[in-house]
Amino acid sequence: MSSKGTTRRLGKTDIEVSSIGLGAMQFSGGRSFTRFYLSAIPTEIEDKVVKVALESGINWIDTAEVYGSGESERAVAHALTAAGISPGDVVIATKWLPIMKSAKSISRSAEKSTRRLEPYPIDLYLVHQPYSRSSVKSQMDAMADLVDSNIIRAVGVSNFSSDKMTRAHEALSDRGISLATNQVRFSLLDRRIESNGILERAKELGVTITAYTPLGMGLLTGKLHSNPELFESMPRFRRTSLRRKLEKSQPLVDLLEDIAVEQKATAAQVALSWATNYHGDIIVAIPGASKTYQAEQNAGAMHVSLSSEQMNSLSTLSRELS
């Protein structure tokens, strides 16, 4: 464990990001698969969320072509333009969905994402899932071509196992490029990367872990425990996936809230601070936000410094509950 820093380098690249970013899956307009998890947000609210996030110290946004079939990428560009942000003043990450596709489609997909995000360039381009018709090497070669062509700055992967992450790292190294990140689930409610080799290998390779769903799809905020009406108002599929975990996670939420009182923070901020600092500076997180107070709250987690005792007590309880 180490003390918190608000800015971290993505892997061995020259890209500096805030330890908390803004996940933008919720900007999907209620389209495609995201409608089962997230409700549509009015454009004016999306614009305000992005503006508040940036004003609060967040300097990067994570999106993907599959979020609303490109709607999230368009929403991010719209919000940045509305906020008067110049290209290059914010780090943009987006992803290529490889399912049922080959590496040959990567350049075409990158072009489409670039158009949707205009005038903001793609800084970090990720392979969204480990399932493709092409080998990891072929995918990384196509990604490296994009770097060489100055279409993107850095390459990442998402949901890759330790072995596939290693293969991606090696294939990029052959092209003189470093693997920036592996984006995976990680939170006090999901710590699988600590036991399946991903975290250990990432440390060895110098690859940053980007934690998605760091608040356990909202469970770690405590709001769903204290407000049954809020829970029941969520999209049905999300309710179903969370219902079993609601009661089980109550002791952890109680501890988060106790520590939050000590820290003069919120339970969500304590959970995010733990996720991004318990293992040092190798992990950054991309919580979503559908309201401005959530964006401000998430950014504020970068200023919460938990003691070793607090981090260890959370770690111990989360392991007991898993």
DSSP string, 67-126: TTTTHHHHHHHHHHHHTTPPTTSSEEEEEE--TT--GGGHHHHHHHHHHHHTTSPEEEEE
**pLDDT score at 3:** 36
Share of the chain above pLDDT 90, in %: 84
Residue with the bigger pLDDT between 236 and 179: it is: 179
The arithmetic mean of pLDDT across residues 215-233, rounded, is: 80
CA–CA separation, 314 and 319 (whole Å):
9
Q: Where are the domains of the chain?
A: 7-321
Contact 143, 130 (CB under 8 A): no
Q: What is the pLDDT of residue 236?
A: 67
According to DSSP, residue 152 is labeled E
Active-site residue, 67 included = yes
Res 192: pLDDT: 97
Out of 3.20.20.100, 3.40.640.10, 1.10.240.10, 3.20.20.70, select the CATH number for domain 7-321.
3.20.20.100
Output the pLDDT for position 2: 33
pLDDT digits (tens, 9 = 90+) for 115-130: 999 999 999 999 999 9
CA distance 289 to 83: 17
Q: Could you give the percent of the chain with pLDDT greater than 70?
A: 94
Residue 270 has pLDDT above 90, yes or no: yes
30-64 pLDDT, tens per residue?
Answer: 777 666 677 789 999 999 999 999 999 999 999 99
Over residues 264-268, the mean pLDDT reads 98
Number of Cβ within a 10 Å radius of residue 56: 19
| Pick from 115, 63, 72, 68: nearest CA to 92 | 63
Q: Indicate whether 227 pLDDT > 90.
A: no
**Exactly one of 37, 67, 120, 278 is catalytic; which is it?**
67
Residue 4 has pLDDT above 50, yes or no: no
Cβ distance 188 to 153 under 8 Å?
no
Task: Answer yes or no: pTM beyond 0.85.
Answer: yes
User: Is the predicted pLDDT of residue 242 greater than 80, yes or no?
Assistant: no
